[in-house]
Every structure is written in C-alpha cells, then in structure tokens.
Amino acid sequence: LNYSMVNRSLTMGQPDRPLNQSTISTLKAFRGGQAAGEFLPSYYGIEVTRHCNFACTMCPHRHYKRNEKGHMDWSLFRSVVDQVADSAEIIKLHWVGEPLLHPRIAEMIRYARDRSSARLHLSTNASLLTRELAEDIRTAGLDRITFSLDSANASTYNTIRINGDYDTVVGNVEHFVEAVESKGGPLCEVKLIQMTRNSDQIESFRRKWSTYETVAVNIMWLSDWAGNVRGFEDESPYINPVSRRSRTPCSDLWFKMQVNWMGQIALCCFDAFGSHILGDFRTDSLAEIWHSQTVRELRKQHLQHRFPAPCASCRDWAQPQEYEFWYTDEQYKTDPGLIWLADPLTDH
C-alpha cells in the first residue's frame, strides 16, 4: 500500500509561503552541525489541556494519574504564545489531552491567530464537536484540523478509541467538513493509526474520506512513544520503518519545542511523562530554555552519534529534512519514513 495523502497535500494550506528568517537561521545551524547559537524553534506544540474523555489503547494518557492532568492557565497560554509568535512557522494546540475540553479553546485559537502568522494546527477526537462549537472552531483561524478516527467501522473503533461513539464522531466530522466545503475553513485531515486490528480497513477508510475535496487522508505508523507505551510486541509490521534506517541526529532538538499544560518543556513530543524537563516558561525565557547547557549537550551528543535515553530506544526520531515536509507546499512523498523535499535555503 502507498501510505501517502490523497486529494490534498498535508501541508498547512498556505502555498508558496516563504520561511521566516528565524527558521532559516535554524536550518543553517542544523545543517552546519551547530549545537549552540541564536537560533530558535520554529515548530511549537502547546498542550492546552491534559484532560481527555477517551482512553485509547495506543495513547499514554490512560496511564496518567489524576494529579497529572489539568488545563493550561489562560495567562500562561498568552505568555507562551507571545514569546513564540515571531519565530513560529507552526503552532499546534494539542498534545496528549483532548483540546476541545478546554473551555476557552476557540478563544485560544483566535489569540494565537492574532499574535502570529504561524500555521495553526489542532487535533481532536471530534466527540465534543457540537454544531455551535464546530462553527466557532471553523471560523477561529486554524490552518489545519486533524480528526483522529483510526477505524472505518463502529465495532473496531470501539475496541481502539475507548469511551468514544463512532456514529457520533463520524457525524460530527462530516458536518464540519461539509461546512468547510461550503463556507471555507481549515484543511481537514482524517487520521488512522495502523495496527493489527484495523489493518484490513485502510482502503475502505481511504475510500470513504477521499470523496471530500477538502479532506486529506493520513495513514500513520504506530508509535510506542519512545518506549513509554508498552504492549506493541506483536505490532512490528506497523511500527515506523524509520527505526530500521541509519540513525542521524534528531532534528527536533533544533526545530521543535513541546510545552506541557503547566508550561514545562518536555524533551520532545514523545516524552509524554516528562522524564526530561528542559525548562519552564513560568520562570525561563524562550532563548534561555533553547540554549541551556542541558539542551546544548543533548545536541552535541546527537551530533557525535551518542544517543542517551530515551533517544536511544526511540523509533520516531526526526530525520534530517523532516521539517521541510511541514514548511513547504510539496506533496507528501510515497515513503512515509523518508521525506526529502526542495532545499528552502536555495528557494528563499
């Protein structure tokens, strides 16, 4: 099977947009093997909430304790967005929790839209996407919205996305997509994480959703979240094949910053349990965090091909030019494990 997108490129809906100067500086630093400098991230994940109403089988959320969950404070959210606004190419307003549970989610999208020209991305299970909230979200300023579905039928859906209702979710997604097709709105993506229990549904999933002109279909590899989620021993055919290729420095250490709901900076988006906290927006500035001794040392280790835990066991490390998939309006290549696109340093 060709696990590429259909209908539309899974970029952020702004074709031929030049990269900002901050991103170009980061590209130069990464390609030049620089562990330190004045470069900043360009891809920011901001976890607006760690609450979730689902207990999906492949997600680390089901392992959190009650006191490890919460909503991001509104003032903290504004502070984070204000600091990252100028250097950001992409801001995603989700991580492990369900963002629609945050009572101010539409307001958060609008605030980020007002403060930054970055491409805004939201991922949701769509269970809470009422007609009123859907209209609020559609018009708030997102560039892309992802609907996590993981199945083409109710029986399989109910074994993967625990606490969800397939018919309700599909109805919510269809309504949102139809509104976008008639009135405009973000690029819509439907996502299926492939695993044994849904591997026979990939083509039917693709056929169903490819009938919409505004929908990209994304078939994703299964992740064990850098070893944080167990029980995937029998799922080896569906684990990201990039783990079997020659290891290179993870570009996330230069380009991506993951902020949890408390304002702390995780090692990366797969460090779901905060085993390595790199800084805290409540006490540190963006530059202080990204160029701390800890982060510089991590980059040096990667450049020397010395990969500390949890990097050593990670199957999802970012390849040298993975960022170019996100920042350019190219069609996703046919091999989801390797992404080689045009060189933005020569294009801009």
Neighbouring-strand partners of residue 26: none
Q: What local confidence, expressed as pLDDT, does residue 152 receive? A: 97
Cβ atoms of 46 and 91 within 8 Å: the answer is yes
30 Cβ partners below 8 Å, 6+ apart? Answer: 251, 254, 255, 320
Residues in the chain predicted with pLDDT less than 70, given as ranges, are: 1-17, 233, 237, 241-245, 323-348
d(CA 103, CA 308): 39
Q: What local confidence, expressed as pLDDT, does residue 61 receive? A: 84
- The distance of Cα 33 from the centroid of its chain, to the nearest Å, equals 25
287 Cβ partners below 8 Å, 6+ apart? Answer: 38, 40
Q: What local confidence, expressed as pLDDT, does residue 313 receive? A: 82
Please tell me the total number of residues recorded for the chain in this structure. Answer: 348
Q: What local confidence, expressed as pLDDT, does residue 324 receive? A: 64
d(CA 205, CA 244): 27
pLDDT in tens, 268-326: 999 988 889 999 999 999 999 999 999 999 999 999 999 998 898 888 888 777 766 66
Residue type at position 151: S
Q: What local confidence, expressed as pLDDT, does residue 6 receive? A: 30
Q: What local confidence, expressed as pLDDT, does residue 85 receive? A: 98
Q: Are strands 264-266 and 277-280 parallel, antiparallel or unpaired?
A: antiparallel
Q: What local confidence, expressed as pLDDT, does residue 7 receive? A: 32
pTM of the complete model: 0.88
- Total Cβ atoms within 10 A of residue 10: 21
Q: What local confidence, expressed as pLDDT, does residue 333 receive? A: 33
Q: What local confidence, expressed as pLDDT, does residue 325 receive? A: 60
d(CA 105, CA 77): 11
d(CA 157, CA 214): 23
Q: What local confidence, expressed as pLDDT, does residue 8 receive? A: 34
| Number of alpha helices (DSSP H) and beta strands (DSSP E) in the chain | 12, 9
pLDDT in tens, 93-116: 999 999 999 999 999 999 999 999
